[in-house]
Amino acid sequence: MITPLLAQVTHLRPPDVRFVGTPPTVVDAMLELARVAANDVVYDLGSGDGRIPIAAAQKFGARGVGIEIDPFWITQSNDQLRRSGVAGRVVFRNEDLFEANIGDASVVTLFLLPRMMDRLLPKLRRELQPGTRIVSHQFTFGDAWAPEKSQDVDGLMIYLWTIR
């Protein structure tokens, strides 16, 4: 028997990377570095188990959108969301982050490999509005775009950029 939740997800293509969760201290620091507030829409590209959009809603009152290609993680995210108390503020979309519409984001969070960051940069610059903050765990856009700020969180680096 297929549950309604499982019927909502699709195998689009194999994921580019294997999910590795961002530690809770880093999640909190990323959201703080991006100055997330209740009026923000936080998109997590490659959202895995959904911890970042859920934390944005729980701790800052923001709305969250997780974009995840792997249906397994969409199911896990929705399970976490049901237990979170913020189900009305967060949605998980089974989409390819390179094709998803992200234009209403005011904050974008990333934990992607450098080759994915390089490929994603033109989309971010094209689709995001001026003032949108981008915060990344561990990886940068290399020489293409220097971060405005960086911060060490328990030996792990996070970086911030703002669309101008």
> pLDDT tens for residues 9-36?
566 666 677 778 899 999 999 999 999 9
Question: What's the CATH class of domain 4-162?
Answer: alpha beta
Q: Tokens 């903050």 map to which residue? A: 133
User: What local confidence, expressed as pLDDT, does residue 9 receive?
Assistant: 58
Mean pLDDT, the chain, whole residue set: 92
On whether the CB atoms of residues 38 and 69 are closer than 8 A, the answer is no
Tell me how many degrees the CA angle 71-72-77 measures, rounded to the nearest 5.
95
Report residue 153 CA to chain centroid gap. 18
Share above pLDDT 70 across residues of the chain, in percent, rounded to a whole number = 90
> pLDDT tens for residues 100-153?
999 999 999 999 999 999 999 999 999 999 999 999 999 999 999 999 999 999
Q: Is the pLDDT of residue 5 over 50?
A: no
| Token code pair at residue 98 | 């390179």
Domain boundaries defined on the chain: 4-162
Question: What integer is the mean pLDDT of 56-61?
Answer: 98
Q: What is the pTM of this model?
A: 0.91
User: What local confidence, expressed as pLDDT, does residue 19 receive?
Assistant: 79
Question: What integer is the mean pLDDT of 62-87?
Answer: 96
